[in-house]
Structure 1
């Protein structure tokens, strides 16, 4: 039996400049270009819990088995697109919203970090999705579908937590600006997202 290849070691990410205030507010062409869109789906798994607790930016993790198509790009960094959390086995998502409309189950813009998260010194690659919607409860075990429409930037290391948070907040603005373009916005109605999972 052949020996298993060792897991890849995390590369040394460049340190972000102290000031990142001059970043562009929109990236990419006016419509998605090859290899996008990339469609991923899987059951939301427990991560490190750092997004919400440490950064105030909650994330949902996709399992490793969902990332084959993305791994083929061999490009870590920050991506953007749309995502949806589907009810599990027709059970509504836990929510404290007073309205009968299940807004938690709608399609929302997202930014997605794929890589080693050098600030936290991860020892394995993860895919963490920040959905731009104020969910009121966790949704571990629910099905998540994601359409990636573009790439924002490579992974960076940071001198402080505050610098990391500031860059993520800029990522969110860049993603929203990009997704407002008509050829991107139409993917919010893609059957891959709108179709309910059983």
Structure 2
């Protein structure tokens, strides 16, 4: 998949570009439905399947104190979009100047003239342009005037019969509630965070007999505090593990950490990037009266995690 970082980098319009535009945070099942429609339309008109997204998230520019945590950081988002079969990802820097472009200029000058748009795929609540002045009715009006197609994709609803549509907001709520099964249903995969293994407080292996990898994350969405069965991707391999998110109340040092104990693993991976897939939340964090009690409970967590993870194979 070709990745373009500015409009200026587009040297000539794409052939019969079919485009969908959005933040696509999470690249969830609803987003995937948009991409499938784009790809099908592009194949029908011998065109190019194009996705446009923004970095940073527009709310981080327009409302910096109220922006949501990210489900997928830019690198992962690009990887997931590429897996859908899209041909081009245009990742535009979002600025206040860009936000000031009128809806008409956005469609005519950027989408049609610069990108070569011949069709646009949108959800039924799509809005765009300065102050979100462009809406679906206006887009359909301009499509007749300017000569492009508009395809509207219905919302995809949650798989458990709820009336709510799948959305990034719904996924954030489930992840923050620790319901990784519900999050997976909407994402189409396990929720994942990525980070670099940092030097921790040197007590997991030394005091408890369970060495942990301490992860530094950026500002992506963090699951609810507690203990989780996880899988960990490192250097092309996947390992089972148990993760602890929170403040380790038994030690009473009030430091928030994300610590992962990889099962049957004894490598030094400090400063290495890893990916942690959250499979199931096991329990809340608990303050134990002694390290022996904590160690015994961790052993139980490991047994439970092994059972859950073995059932995935």
Q: Specify the TM-score bucket, using the shorter chain as the normaliser.
A: 0.5 to 0.7
2:307 pairs with one of 177, 183, 188:
177
1:143 aligns with 2:273: yes
List structure 1 runs of 4+ shifted beyond 6 angstroms. none
Structure 1 SS opposite 2:287? coil
* TM-score where L is the length of structure 2: 0.39
Please give the secondary structure, in 2, of the residue aligned with 1:151: strand
Deviation per residue, 1:112-155 (Å, 9 max, x gap):
000000011132210000000231x4211111111111100000
Question: Are the equivalent residues in 1 in contact too, given 2:248–2:254 (CA < 8 A)?
Answer: no
Give structure 2 stretches of 5+ with no counterpart.
Answer: 1-64, 66-179, 185-189
Which residue does 1:127 correspond to in 2?
Answer: 258
Question: Root-mean-square deviation (CA), in Å?
Answer: 1.9
Contact 1:81/1:147 (<8 A) preserved? yes
Aligned partner of 1:153 in structure 2 is: 283
One of 221, 235, 242 as aligned partner of 1:69: 221
Deviations 1:68-90 (A, max 9, x none): 322xx4x211011210222xxxx
Q: After superposing the two structures, state which structure 1 stretch, 170-179 or 34-43, moved more.
A: 34-43
8 Å contact 2:226–2:284 — kept in the other structure? yes
Structure exhibiting the larger radius of gyration computed from Cα positions: 2
Report Cα offsets for 1:42-86 as digits up to 9, x if no partner: 1111110100111110000110426x322xx4x211011210222
Confirm whether residue 162 of structure 1 aligns to residue 292 of structure 2: yes
Segments of 5+ residues of structure 1 without an aligned counterpart are 5-31, 87-104, 186-198
Alignment of 1:58-137 (within 5 A): 58-65=211-218, 68-70=220-222, 73=223, 75-86=224-235, 106-135=237-266, 137=267
Contact 1:38 / 1:69 at 8 angstroms: preserved in 2?
Answer: no
Number of residue pairs aligned between Structure 1 and Structure 2: 130
Determine which structure has the larger helix proportion and give its number: 2
Aligned-partner Cα distance in 1 for 2:217–2:201: 15
SS in 1 for 2:270: coil
**Alpha carbons 2:205, 2:211 under 8 Å: kept:** yes
Which of residues 182, 192, 197 is equivalent to 1:44?
197
The 3 A distance-change label for structure 1 pair 133 and 119 is same
RCO greater where, 1 or 2, for CA within 8 Å and sep 6 or more? 1
